[in-house]
């Protein structure tokens, strides 16, 4: 299966992103509950980009675990101003914008792997993986 890159610059793109991610999860054979988890992660992290960085993209790519399991990797990238305090942003209930502050910590709980790099110069990149 091919990787897909989805541009994120408007609110409508959030809907497109979660729809595309769900479709890929279905094609990869994820169960309904995992499809829902992945679509939700996509929605949360895509919204973060549209809201805080203005624009960016998400790359969805099939992945393979060392133990042979298949999975889906989602990479969210933007070149916005970065997250000044990642530790605080990863705490439940922390938010600088008009959200509930569940986006980052919630997405971490919905994924098996979660990685975040952020700097004021290079923007933010969040990588999540969920295995089947």
Q: Rule CB under 8 A: which residues touch another protein?
A: 11-12, 14-15, 18-19, 22, 32-33, 35-37, 39-40, 43-44, 47, 92, 99-100, 102-103, 105-107, 109-110
Output the smallest distance, CB 58 to another protein, in A: 14
Output the smallest distance, CB 35 to another protein, in A: 8
CA nearest neighbour of 45 among 117, 113, 108, 91: 108
CA distance 104 to 3: 23
- Beta carbon nearer to another protein, 87 or 121: 87
CA distance 14 to 77: 14
Output the smallest distance, CB 15 to another protein, in A: 5
Residue 111 burial (C-beta neighbours within 10 Å; 0-12, 13-18, 19+): buried
Output the smallest distance, CB 45 to another protein, in A: 10
- Beta carbon nearer to another protein, 14 or 75: 14
CA distance 82 to 66: 31
- Beta carbon nearer to another protein, 31 or 64: 31
Strand order in the sheet with 123-131: 4-8, 56-64, 70-78, 123-131, 113-119
- Beta carbon nearer to another protein, 54 or 120: 54
Q: With beta carbons less than 8 A apart as the criterion, state whether 75 and 125 touch.
A: yes
């Amino acid at each position: 299966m091919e990787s897909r890159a989805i541009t994120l610059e408007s609110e409508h793109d959030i809907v497109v992103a979660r729809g595309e991610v769900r479709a890929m999860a279905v094609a990869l054979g994820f169960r309904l509950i995992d499809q829902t988890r992945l679509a939700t992660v996509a929605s949360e992290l895509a919204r973060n980009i549209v809201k805080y960085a203005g624009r960016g993209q998400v790359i969805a790519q099939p992945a393979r675990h060392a133990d042979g399991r298949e999975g889906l990797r989602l990479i969210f990238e933007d070149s916005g101003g970065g997250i000044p305090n990642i530790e605080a942003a990863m705490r439940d209930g922390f938010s600088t914008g008009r959200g509930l502050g569940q986006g980052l910590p919630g997405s971490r709980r919905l994924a098996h792997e979660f990685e975040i790099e952020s700097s004021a110069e290079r923007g933010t990149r969040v990588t999540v993986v969920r295995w089947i």
